[in-house]
């Protein structure tokens, strides 16, 4: 594969809007289909979603997918057919391994421990990568990584790679993929103002808060994404306090 860098602005994404949902899709999703834009590496879904209070996705099926959820604002309540219940909030990563098949719901609902109705929309990024094997048993996990993010540097939110899996927040069933996050400050001279982008055959970067400048790319703001092929190591510098998600992938779909 040739070295390549492709930049997609936030306005380049597909958009789905309903009475309770605004969802922006980096790749073909639902009724939106472009045969030239279906995935990057093993990443099939990269959706930014905004769900109004007391609404969300009712129980629906998934299989053969590793689904990662990263909440930016508000809280999201998860329930599934294996009896797992959880609440996801900023700083907590959630992973659902759909395996041979699972039903789950994701809603902006009251959490049973307090019962208070949410007052704000939940904003989140939901991502799907393919697993190494199909037909495995479904599984669910979440982990709090807020303290690690505040300490600076790249934090492995989810990984199946041997070199990262022991340090990652949650484990995924793809031994060639890792999801990183970082919070960068814009303070002049701060060591946390700049990081180097991970390298790999396939790298996908998204700005989810603030703004950055990326070497060989330029200015990026919320919702902008960069797809890198056979490259990486580019300096990423905060131009305002920012948060960035990056997938490092060493294989494509089902390979």
Q: Which residues are annotated as a binding site for Fe cation?
A: 60, 62, 104, 106
What φ, ψ does residue 162 adopt, rounded to 5°?
A: -55, -35
Q: Are 247 and 228 in contact (CB under 8 A)?
A: no
Q: How far apart are CA 152 and CA 54, in angstroms?
A: 35
Q: Which residue positions form the known binding site?
A: 60, 62, 104, 106
Residue carrying the six token digits 């303070």: 187
Structure tokens at 101: 């098949």
Q: How far apart are CA 83 and CA 100, in angstroms?
A: 16
Three-state secondary-structure class, residue 148? helix
| Closest residue by Cα to residue 82 from 61, 65, 109 | 61
Residue carrying the six token digits 């306005």: 11
Handedness of CA 180, 185, 188, 191 (dihedral sign): negative
Q: In Å, how far are 111, 170, 178, 241 from 13, measured between CA atoms?
A: 31, 28, 23, 24
């Amino acid at each position: 594969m040739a070295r390549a860098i492709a930049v997609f602005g936030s306005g380049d994404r597909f958009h789905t809007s309903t009475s309770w949902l605004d969802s922006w899709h980096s790749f073909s999703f639902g009724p939106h289909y472009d045969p030239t834009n279906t995935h990057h590496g093993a990443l099939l879904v990269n959706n930014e979603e905004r769900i109004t209070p007391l609404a969300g996705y009712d129980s629906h099926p998934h299989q053969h997918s590793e689904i990662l959820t990263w909440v930016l604002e508000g809280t999201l309540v998860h329930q599934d057919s294996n009896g797992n219940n959880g609440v996801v909030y900023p700083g907590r990563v959630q992973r659902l391994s759909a395996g041979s098949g699972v039903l789950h719901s994701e809603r902006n609902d009251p959490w049973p421990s307090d019962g208070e109705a949410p007052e704000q929309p939940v904003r989140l990024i939901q991502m799907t990568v393919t697993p190494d094997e199909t037909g495995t048993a479904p599984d669910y996990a979440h982990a709090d990584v807020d303290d690690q993010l505040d300490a600076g540097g790249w934090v492995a939110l989810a990984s199946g790679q041997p070199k990262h899996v022991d340090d990652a927040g949650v484990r995924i069933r793809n031994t060639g993929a890792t999801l990183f996050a970082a919070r960068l400050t814009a303070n002049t001279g701060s060591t946390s103002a700049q990081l180097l982008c991970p390298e790999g055959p396939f790298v996908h970067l998204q700005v989810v808060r603030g703004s950055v400048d990326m070497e060989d790319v330029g200015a990026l703001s919320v919702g902008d994404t960069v797809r890198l092929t056979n490259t990486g190591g580019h300096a990423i510098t905060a131009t305002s306090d920012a948060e960035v998600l990056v997938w490092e992938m060493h294989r494509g779909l089902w390979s």
